[in-house]
Amino acid sequence: MWHSFCLRLVSNKRKSDKILSERKIIWLSANRFGYELLKEAVKIKHLNIIGIITLSKNATTVMYDGIENEKWNEFGIKVYEIERINHEKNLLNNLSPEFIIMAGWRQIINKEILYIPNNGFIGFHPTLLPIGRGPAPIINSIIQEFTESGVTMYYVSEGLDDGDIIAQEKFSINENDYASDLYEKIIIAGKKLIRGYLPLLIKGKAPRDPQDESKATRFKKRKLKENEIDIANESIHEIYNKIRALSKPYKGAYIQKDGKKLIIWKAEIRE
């Protein structure tokens, strides 16, 4: 019986490895978050990532946390540099991926692109969805004084961050955390999700839970002019939160006078 049990284990492992190696994956990213998560993903044996799609140097999409395109070549995977993902239907159809993993991409995905991968278009959002849907999640989480947040791994849908949830990883936000501190926590949480759930996803064994619409909240889209500090009307705590939220990798909160800006990257409140 023991010999038979061992044979079943070996057989199941080989079957599992075969599934991982046969499912073709495209990695879609143009920032450090996606780069760090890919470093974690390639540690998974037999994972079949057939291509990396990133933004070309001619792309107009702004990535505040972007990285040098050359870094994507470190993985030894074919890299495709594009300007807009919605213009690449032919490329994606030719690659015919089972999954597209999107981690760090600031372009809205059209319906016809979303449904090209046979088994799912997967995204990561740095809040605990359905809380905090929408733009600028790091900035808005700090400005709105969240004490807890996290990263959600989910199926990207036609709506705004409202797809079925695969898994979430939580972390705390401290009152002295800056945007860069939050970014590091997001990377750590994202890597945990990659390790725990990417193999399950590829094998068709990952959870898939609809979001609770009764708990949904949405962040507003911020304008660059809102980076200016309004000393007359904003409280000390509002100013402090704005400085923290807009610090690097973002453009910074500032005071403007005589046509010049004084950007404030760090601050502290003293009684």
208 and 232, same domain (yes or no): no
- Does the residue 4 lie in any domain? no
pLDDT higher than threshold 60 for residue 10: no
Q: Which domain holds residue 254?
A: 224-264
247 and 141, same domain (yes or no): no
Q: Is residue 190 classed exposed, middle or buried when 0-12, 13-18 and 19+ CB atoms within 10 A define those classes? A: buried
202 and 230, same domain (yes or no): no
Q: What pLDDT is attached to residue 154? A: 98
158 and 199, same domain (yes or no): yes
Q: What pLDDT is attached to residue 244? A: 98
Mean pLDDT, residues 205-213 taken together: 97
Q: Give the H or E element holding residue 245.
A: helix 236-245
126 and 43, same domain (yes or no): yes
- Does the residue 112 lie in any domain? yes
Q: Into how many domains does the chain fold? A: 2
SS3 state of residue 35: helix
Q: Note the pLDDT tens digit of each residue in 30-63.
A: 999 999 999 999 999 989 999 999 999 999 999 9
Q: Note the pLDDT tens digit of each residue in 99-123.
A: 999 999 999 999 999 999 999 999 9
Q: Note the pLDDT tens digit of each residue in 236-266.
A: 999 999 999 999 999 999 999 998 999 999 9
28 and 141, same domain (yes or no): yes
Q: Is 251:179 a contact under the CB 8 Å cutoff?
A: no
- Dihedral through CA 172, CA 177, CA 180, CA 184, nearest 10? -30
117 and 244, same domain (yes or no): no
- Does the residue 206 lie in any domain? yes
pTM (2 d.p.)? 0.92
**Position 161 confidence tier, pLDDT thresholds 50, 70, 90:** very high
Q: Is 97:25 a contact under the CB 8 Å cutoff?
A: yes
